Amino acid sequence: MTTISVCMIVKNEEKILSRCLDCLRDIADEIIIVDTGSTDNTKAIAKKYTDKIYDFEWIKDFSAARNYSLSFATKDYIYCADADEVIEPEEQKKFIALKQVLTPDIDIVQMLYTNQLQFNTVYNYDEELRPKLYRNGKNYRFEGCVHEAVVFDDSAKIIETDIRIKHMPLQNHGSRDLDIFLKSYTPENTRLDTRLHEQFARELYVCGTDEDFIRSAPIFERTLNDAERKEDELIEACCVLAHAARLKNNLNELFRYSIKGMALGACSELLCEFGDYFKETGNYEEAAIWYYNAAFEATSKINIAYCTQYPIQALANLYEELGMPEIANQYRTKLNN
């Protein structure tokens, strides 16, 4: 039977660590926990499940910590778990059954990562297939200081399963992740890859402050001057830059970036920028047109809320201000459906 090393990095997870490890107790053949500086009872709780507990000085680099945890794995496969994950009993049975049939030629096993939309994460979908199980001895390494991922080439043999891993955080970690982005990546020394470019933009739209958008603008300005960037990345950059321009009340930049982005493909984020602009200038009728198009005539590129809750709530508020409560209530009803 295949053996599995569960590798985790943790910090101050006393409220949820037992919940996670209870799910893994019957799956794991060894549990490796790397603590990055807990000041609560995390390590004491971990000791109830394993004696393989190691310390790692936090350097604001999730990949460095992940790779350190992998270095202690001794079993056939490595499963990288987060403390805020839950595997329900039926899914545990599927996982244990997988161990009975997994063959050494399989390099990577994908599982369904679920429950994303409930917690306002940077993802626009409720579940997705993710690589969760890696063949040990293949020297797989995580890359990226935040939203880290294992890099593997096309030769890797990958299988997909319907095992569901439920994401159940107690809080959104967006502000922490965004802080790492802002401190780690600068336009002078970094070119974000496609995945991190998207994640950075989404972090901004989920939890970024006005100052965060303005600080990030030079990084996304560089994107527009990069001939190798894909269309989606250019649109992401235009969205961030248009928002930063509106915050700075720079109308020339607002229109320049918005028009450039919409020429590539109209998206709800840019339409909402115009809605916000006209609302702020008191032109509610014009604002309503842009919000309507954002909600019902376009789709989002970065944050799904910009084609759903955000413009519909804005429409309800505008029509209330315009003295049209019946129309306002119609939009509020849509929010609840």
Write the CATH number of the domain with boundaries 174-336: 1.25.40.10
- Average pLDDT of span 71-83: 97
Identify the weakest region by mean pLDDT among 52-61, 90-99, 113-122: 113-122
Q: Provide the pLDDT for residue 175.
A: 65
Residue whose pair of structure tokens reads 């996304």 in the numeric block: 220
What are the tens digits of pLDDT across the range 317-330? 999 999 999 999 99
User: Residue 83 pLDDT > 90, yes or no?
Assistant: yes
pLDDT at position 312: 97
Residue 207 has pLDDT above 90, yes or no: no
Condensed to tens digits (0 to 9), the pLDDT of residues 143-174 reads: 888 888 898 888 999 999 999 999 988 766 55
Q: What percent of the chain has pLDDT over 70?
A: 93
- 213 pLDDT higher than 70: yes
Chain region(s) in the chain for CATH 3.90.550.10: 4-167
Q: Does the pLDDT value for residue 118 go beyond 70?
A: no
Unique residue bearing structure tokens 């490796």:
32
- pLDDT interval class at 127 (50, 70, 90): confident
Total-model pTM = 0.72
Between CA 219 and CA 238 the distance in angstroms is 11
- Residues 6+ away with beta carbon under 8 Å from 6: 24, 27, 28, 30, 31, 32, 79, 80, 81
Which pLDDT tens digit goes with each residue over 90-116? 999 999 999 999 999 999 999 999 975
- pLDDT over 90 (residue 8): yes
CA–CA distance, 240 with 212 (Å, rounded to integer):
10
CATH superfamily of 4-167: Spore Coat Polysaccharide Biosynthesis Protein SpsA; Chain A (3.90.550.10)
**Residues carrying CATH 1.25.40.10, the chain:** 174-336
Phi, psi (5° rounding) for residue 164? -105, 130
**Is pLDDT at 121 greater than 60 in this prediction?**
no
* Residue 124 banded pLDDT, cuts 50, 70, 90: very low
Rg (CA), the chain: 23
pLDDT at 125 over 60: no
pLDDT exceeds 70 at position 189 = no
Cα–Cα distance, 155 to 139 (Å, whole number): 14
Task: Give pLDDT, residue 128.
Answer: 86
Q: Is 305 left (phi over 0), alpha (psi -120 to 50) or beta?
A: alpha
Q: Does 208 have pLDDT greater than 80?
A: yes
Position 332 scores a pLDDT of 93
> Is the model's pLDDT at 119 over the cut of 60?
no
